[in-house]
Amino acid sequence: MLTVGTKAPDFTLNDQNGTEIRLSDFLGKKIVLYFYPKDNTPGCTRQACAFAGAYAGFKEKNTVVIGVSKDSVASHVKFAQKYELPFILLSDPELQAIQAYDVWQEKKLYGKVSMGVVRSTYIIDENGMIEKVMPKVKPDTNAAEILDYLAGQD
């Protein structure tokens, strides 16, 4: 995982609308950059819906929410429409951002070892610096924990 106080790696990926999005486009705003394994899986759906439910709170705090997985743009379109997700979903099939943020790691499931995205969240400040690192987050509580953290900064 990257560490607090380091510059957030910039990247350019396509969002669910096929639009190129650069992380550096959001300088001047706080960013919640969350990495998740796969669209339409139970944990990832709960996490995305929790972010959607808390979205007004993030907007109040001038904070951009960006979800990243290796799913395709087409998969993101369906996922965003199905659950009415109001935030950006980025498609990273080449693992550009996923590897830059060190969330592509060895995982064990039922004794089987494989490589995959470890559910993790970074909070990036207005100057593009990593402010908080949240490794191995819980899908149901991640959004609320971040809002609590942001509320403590006022």
pLDDT, residue 120, reads 98
Strands 12-15 and 88-91, sheet pairing: antiparallel
Residues 6+ apart with CB under 8 A from 79: 16, 39, 40, 45, 48, 71, 85, 89
Residues 6+ apart with CB under 8 A from 105: 115, 116, 118
Is pTM, for the whole model, over 0.85? yes
Whether the Cβ atoms of residue 115 and residue 105 lie closer than 8 Å to each other: yes
C-alpha closest to that of 73 among 16, 152, 127: 16
* For the chain, domain boundaries: 12-151
Please give the Cα distance from 123 to 125 (Å, whole number).
7
Report the SS3 class of residue 115. strand
Whether the Cβ atoms of residue 91 and residue 113 lie closer than 8 Å to each other: no
Averaged over successive runs of 10 residues, the pLDDT of the chain (154 residues) comes to: 97 97 97 98 97 97 97 98 98 98 92 94 98 96 96 77
pLDDT, residue 154, reads 54
In CATH terms, the superfamily for domain 12-151 is Glutaredoxin (3.40.30.10)
pLDDT, residue 109, reads 82
Catalytic residues: 44
